[in-house]
Amino acid sequence: MSRKKIIAGNWKMNKTPQEADALIGALIPAVADADADVVVCVPYTALAGVTALTKNTNIAVGAQNMHFEEKGAFTGEISADMLLALGVKYVIIGHSERRQYFGETDASVNKKTLFALDKGLIPIVCCGESLEQRELGVTNEHVRLQVKAAFQGITAERAAGVVVAYEPIWAIGTGKTATAAQANEVCAVIRGVIGELYGAATAGAVRIQYGGSMNAANAEELLAQSDIDGGLIGGASLKAEDFTAIVKAG
């Protein structure tokens, strides 16, 4: 099955609203003819400005997190309805930094994924192993468990629209990158799990991104792999030229 590539920039805790607007202003003409789906996941404070600027362009906007409750006494959290009201289309769920620093669990990732789908947001669900887990040889088992937990209670029809991002934690912000073969191997494992849960058709429809320090230099090789359908881009998404190069590689 031919799957359209999806390149998503995860800006993390970077860019003031003014800086975000400037970067988007540079990106809009640069990626206007992209064959891939283009997404920018920006800080909450930049969402209003960026969604306004990208209206009627081919750039979709994502948030970096959301709560799994409708509303209520959850200080510091953001609801799905708040995101939708701004025109947000995607939401990153379960990024390794959320798991490591803010107590995200497989259970909360599943709750958020279900709620995002209920609300009509497209979840970008993250999974991946630490350096210790890779060295112990348990990468595949760990990732399989994360994927099974994330998709619990999700029908095949809805599962087909979920984006999965494989992010080896040891390759995020370290300058280390999995080889194209290593990255593709784990993405194939992810697709295999989805196939076990839902069948070949759903597995063939789900798009799986690589999220471990993809950059302008290695994007073409990574995106040429059979089971890598895009990238969840960190540092390289903060520079218009670098992000554009990755989009064009897709």
CATH of residue 16's domain is 3.20.20.70
Look at residues 58, 69, 8 and name the one whose alpha carbon lies nearest to residue 29.
58
In order of 64, 111, 203, the CA distances from 79 in angstroms are: 12, 13, 29
Q: Is the pLDDT assigned to residue 102 strictly greater than 90?
A: yes
Q: What is the pLDDT of residue 172?
A: 75
> Is 95 in the active site?
yes
d(CA 100, CA 197): 27
Q: Can you tell me which residue has the tokens 């958020």?
A: 112
Establish if 183 belongs to a structural domain. Answer: yes
pLDDT band at 2 (very low <50, low <70, confident <90, very high): confident
| Total of domains in the chain | 1
Establish if 176 belongs to a structural domain. Answer: yes
Q: What is the share, in percent, of the chain residues with pLDDT greater than 70?
A: 98
Of the listed 67, 95, 104, 129, which one is catalytic? 95
Q: What is the pLDDT of residue 189?
A: 97
Residue pLDDT, tens place only, 172-187: 767 776 899 999 999 9
Establish if 1 belongs to a structural domain. Answer: no
Establish if 213 belongs to a structural domain. Answer: yes
Are 86 and 48 in contact, with CB atoms under 8 Å apart?
Answer: yes
* DSSP-assigned letters across all residues of the chain: -----EEEEE--S---HHHHHHHHHHHHHHTTT-SSEEEEE--HHHHHHHHHHHTTSSEEEEES---SSSSSS-TT---HHHHHHHT--EEEES-HHHHHHH---HHHHHHHHHHHHHHT-EEEEEE---HHHHHHT-HHHHHHHHHHHHTTT--HHHHTT-EEEE--GGGSSSS----HHHHHHHHHHHHHHHHHHH-HHHHHH-EEEE-SS--TTTHHHHHTSTT--EEEESGGGGSHHHHHHHHHH-
Amino acid of residue 88: V
Average pLDDT value for residue range 56-82: 98
Average pLDDT value for residue range 12-21: 98
Q: Which of the pair, 213 or 127, is modelled with greater confidence?
A: 127
Q: How many CB atoms lie within 10 A of CB 118?
A: 12
Q: Is the pLDDT assigned to residue 1 strictly greater than 70?
A: no
Look at residues 224, 220, 207 and name the one whose alpha carbon lies nearest to residue 165.
207
Residue pLDDT, tens place only, 104-113: 999 999 999 9
Chain centroid to CA 101: 18
Domain hosting residue 185, numbered range = 6-249
The alpha-carbon radius of gyration of the chain (Å, integer) is 17
Of the listed 97, 104, 129, 167, which one is catalytic? 167
Establish if 181 belongs to a structural domain. Answer: yes
Establish if 185 belongs to a structural domain. Answer: yes
Q: What is the pLDDT of residue 225?
A: 96
For the record, the structure tokens of 192 come out as: 């295999």
202 Cβ contact partners less than 8 Å away, ≥ 6 residues apart: 156, 159, 160, 194, 195
Establish if 80 belongs to a structural domain. Answer: yes
Q: Which of the pair, 225 or 135, is modelled with greater confidence?
A: 225
Establish if 192 belongs to a structural domain. Answer: yes
pLDDT band at 135 (very low <50, low <70, confident <90, very high): confident
Q: What does the mean pLDDT of the chain come to?
A: 95
Q: Which of the pair, 130 or 122, is modelled with greater confidence?
A: 122
d(CA 124, CA 165): 6
